Amino acid sequence: MTTIAALLDEASAALAAAGFDEPRRRARRIVAAALGLSASEVFAFAERESDGAARVAAVLDRVLAHEPLSRILGSREFWGLDLALSADAFDPRPESETVVEAVLRHLPDRTAPYRFLDLGTGSGCLLLALLSEYRAARGVGVDVAPGAAAAAAANAAALGLAGRARFVVGDWSAALAAEFDAVVANPPYIASGDIALLPREVAEHDPRRALDGGADGLAAYRAIARDLPRLLAPDGLFACEIGAGQGAAVAAILAGQGIGVVEAAPDLAGIERCLVARKKIGMRRARG
């Protein structure tokens, strides 16, 4: 038996010695996850004795081997929603919430029966976040991986959103004929040659197809852009995540299909992370 505080100290020291950033914060999450506590309970019960040292050590060993805690737990919180993860789906990061925020700015009527399309849906995070905000909306999520589409459907059911969300297996939008009020996407945008340079937590645990954007990282944007003119309803909205420094290149791809960027939105780190476009030209930059 040892105290929760001692477990926290040991985990933090091990992470610091291994060169992890923010070792105390990471250790708190590891201890909380291993013991089934919230972060606030780790603080509140710091001096309480625990028999969970072996559980903490097991989780810590996997984190030290650069396995993401979200993969160990099998879930990730996104937009306040608890999403189960699949090995076939990208592990959503907080930066992707920039896409959700952008749609909310441009479609302010939360009661409207919008039709959403999420291309490369993965866990379903973008579509399900939008449906949680727009209570009369419906949407379709498409992913090339059957396991990802199945996981997204399971997440929709767990969140009580299955009646308004449908998930299908497909190559982007090739099999779709409907028009949508908003199309969202977080496509793969890492250049093929740069994948090996990514942190191990990403390169070794996210599906390569969710990362690999081709030789220049822009292949998925070209594939998506070709179909946007027929997918977007009149004045329909397209919002996509982009990699750092890709804004101008992606905007040019969209412009080639008659889709004009109207906003370039930064994430919390100030990095241009989301482009918003419509079937009309114009541009403004969001305030950080």
Domain ranges of the chain: 2-65, 75-285
This prediction's pTM: 0.93
How do 180-185 and 232-241 pair as beta strands? Answer: parallel
Q: What angle do CA 180, 182, 188 make, to 5 degrees?
A: 110
| 280 DSSP assignment | B
Helix axes 23-35, 53-64, angle to 10 degrees: 130
Structure tokens of 144? 């090339």
Contact in structure between 233 and 181 (CB atoms under 8 Å):
yes
Distance (Å, rounded) from C-alpha 256 to C-alpha 91?
Answer: 31
Q: What pLDDT band is residue 28 in, cutting at 50, 70 and 90?
A: very high
- pLDDT at site 284: 45
Average pLDDT rounded to a whole number, residues 115-125: 98
Which range (36-45, 201-210, 273-282) has the least confidence? Answer: 273-282
As a whole number of angstroms, the distance between CA 203 and CA 225 comes to 27
First to last CA, the chain: 48
Tokens 């201890």: give the residue.
Answer: 31
User: Contact, 145 vs 118, CB < 8 A?
Assistant: no
When pLDDT is cut at 50, 70 and 90, the band that residue 285 belongs to is very low
- Mean pLDDT confidence for 228-257: 96
In the prediction, which pLDDT does 87 show?
Answer: 94
Cβ neighbours around 88 below 10 Å, total? 20
Q: What is the mean pLDDT of the chain?
A: 95
CA 195, 197, 199, 200 torsion: positive or negative? positive
What was the pLDDT predicted at 287?
44
Helices then strands, each counted (H, E), the chain: 11, 12
Q: Tell me 27's DSSP state.
A: H
> What fold does the segment set 75-285 form as a domain?
Rossmann fold (3.40.50)
Using 50, 70 and 90 to split pLDDT, how confident is the model at 8?
very high
Distance, in Å, from the CA atom of 160 to the CA atom of 216, rounded to the nearest integer, reads: 39
Say whether pLDDT at 283 is over 80: no
State how beta strands 180-185 and 165-169 pair.
Answer: unpaired
- Beginning with the edge strand found earlier in the chain, give each strand of the sheet holding 165-169 in spatial order: 165-169, 138-143, 115-119, 180-185, 232-241, 272-278, 260-266, 284-285
Q: Which of 90-99, 100-109, 182-191, 272-281 has the lowest mean pLDDT?
A: 272-281
Average pLDDT over residues 215-222: 98
pLDDT given for residue 39 in this prediction: 87
Beta pairing class for 115-119 and 180-185: parallel
Strand extents, DSSP E, the chain: 2-3, 49-50, 75-78, 81-84, 115-119, 138-143, 165-169, 180-185, 232-241, 260-266, 272-278, 284-285
Q: Between 175 and 237, name the one with better pLDDT.
A: 237
φ, ψ of residue 120 in degrees (nearest 5): 75, 50
What is the pLDDT, as a whole number, of residue 233?
A: 94
